[in-house]
Amino acid sequence: MAHFTQLVLSGSPDNKPEVKPQGKTQPDVSPEPQRPRSKERKPATKEKLAALAGSLIATAVLGVFVLQSGCSKEPNKTATIATPTQTNQTSAPIVTTPVTPTDAAASQAPAKKKSRQRKLSASTYTNPDYGVSFRYPKGDSLKEGDEASMELGSLGPLEMNFVQPGGTTVSTVELPRKFYAGTDFNSAFFNVSVNSKLTADECQQFAFPKAADLQTDPVTPSKTKVGATEFRTMEGFAEEENDAADVKFYHVFQNGSCYEFALGVETVAEGIADETKPVVKPVNRSEVFRQLNWILSTVKIQPIASPEKLVPEVAADTPAPSVR
């Protein structure tokens, strides 16, 4: 900057070299005091202009440099950002972990607990005199002896289905009506009877139902195996006015006696329909017989010993002891 100012001063047209005149010597006259001052101000103004121009040039150069550096950095940034991503995609190793059955089960959502099936609360009935026992639901009604005789409404008492008389009713189980509310259900029963006067062949026969013509409509018992026991079976149906009964008889010969198990369902229909009352639905007979068949499947018949004679025989000719 100092060199640039010197060039300006040396090139000024006002500064001419002085020529000394020959001959007389003129007195030394000092220049006017105001002229040098004006000359001294001119270089200062030029210096300011030069400084301003220089600063503008420097600012322009700096702006161009910053612009070029900024433009040159943008692709570098893109390259810098893209390079790690591209490297990760190509150079990152793929690790495969084998999945074991244990890990697969653990990753799955926990399975819902299965609802436990309620076990039937049952009681056990045993009759040592006839060696018979069975199980029945606690909610059912059990009767023995004379109280075990069944009355089927207008159909009368339930009869034993032996071909010969001499049977004895041992026990009866009745299902509660509340289980079949809103239906035509009246009663359902499981009846046990024993006849010790029948032979094995007679035990396979039934007194009813009887066919009107044995040649055209024969009634033949069938065989049914329940558990480990094979039964001779016969089904009878009775109807009187509004009452109806469906009874299935099962016979088996053991301990020298004929055992009869009667499973039945009795229904009662409404005599006159009443629109004010709810409609009575027919009971599901299959469901009722399923409950009764469960009781039959629990039947066990144990061997019983014949009673021994405990009274000794006394000879009639035995003399009485002499008295002294």
Lowest-pLDDT range, 122-126, 129-133, 189-193, 302-306?
Answer: 302-306
Q: What percent of the chain has pLDDT over 90?
A: 42
CATH architecture of structural domain 122-272+280-301: 3-Layer(aba) Sandwich (3.40)
Provide the pLDDT for residue 121. Answer: 87
Cα dihedral 153→156→157→158 (10° resolution): -90
Closest CA to 254 of 311, 192, 208: 192
Q: CA-based angle 167:169:172, to the nearest 5? A: 150
Provide the pLDDT for residue 292. Answer: 97
Lowest-pLDDT range, 205-209, 255-259, 316-320?
Answer: 316-320
Bridge-partner residues for 188, per DSSP?
265
Q: What is the pLDDT of residues 86-116, one digit of tens each?
A: 444 444 455 455 555 555 555 565 555 555 5
Closest CA to 266 of 138, 154, 119, 113: 154
pLDDT bin (cut points 50, 70, 90) of residue 79 is very low
Q: What is the pLDDT of residues 7-29, one digit of tens each?
A: 344 444 444 445 444 444 444 54
C-alpha 37: how far from its chain's center? 111
Bridge-partner residues for 244, per DSSP?
239, 267
pLDDT bin (cut points 50, 70, 90) of residue 47 is low
Average pLDDT over residues 126-152: 93
* Helix or strand (DSSP H, E) at 245: strand 243-254
| Residue 109, token pair as written in the block | 């959502």
Provide the pLDDT for residue 320. Answer: 46
228-233 contacts at long range (C-beta below 8 A, 24 or more positions apart) = 229/299, 229/301, 231/261, 232/203, 232/204, 232/206
Average pLDDT over residues 144-165: 91
Given a cut of 90, whether residue 231 has pLDDT beyond it is yes
Given a cut of 70, whether residue 77 has pLDDT beyond it is no
User: What predicted TM-score, i.e. pTM, was given to this entire model?
Assistant: 0.58
d(CA 157, CA 213): 27
Of residues 9 and 250, the one with the higher pLDDT is 250
Contact 151, 167 (CB under 8 A): no
